[in-house]
Amino acid sequence: MKRIERVNSLIRDLAGEFLLSQIKIKGTIISATRVEASSDLKYAKIFISVFPYNKEKQVLNMLKDALGEWQKYLAAKFKAKFLPQSQFLIDKGEKSARKVEKLLRSLA
């Protein structure tokens, strides 16, 4: 596995742990679906999935407020020359796949 793939996987796993421990909204499921770190590891886009969808904005606002805590959490567990500046985004691909799946089921 290439270095960037290992980094993406590690950050995704750490983000998942952080989401479970820090972002709690009753009746909401939040998961880290993928990460895209830059080749120089200075930046990382962390894509998340939120269910139910109407909680996405609330979750993103909570993550924006907790970004400093996330960076501290990442710094404690991620040993590298650079600590990537992170950005949390909604995974639109995951959302689109669910819509297509639902549509296909309705046609069957």
Listed by start position, the domains of the chain span 3-107
Q: How far is CA 12 from CA 16, 18, 22, in A?
A: 6, 10, 15
pLDDT tens per residue, range 14-60: 999 999 999 989 999 999 999 999 989 899 999 999 989 899 999 99
Q: What's the pLDDT at 97?
A: 73
Q: Is the pLDDT of residue 74 over 80?
A: yes
**Quick one: CATH architecture of 3-107?**
2-Layer Sandwich (3.30)
Global pTM reads 0.85
Q: What's the pLDDT at 87?
A: 97
Q: What's the pLDDT at 11?
A: 97
Give every strand in the sheet of 29-37, ordered side by side: 29-37, 43-51, 85-90
Residue whose tokens read 């650079």: 82
Q: Which secondary-structure segment (H or E) carries 40?
A: none
Question: What are the φ and ψ backbone dihedral angles of 36, each rounded to 5 degrees?
Answer: -125, 100
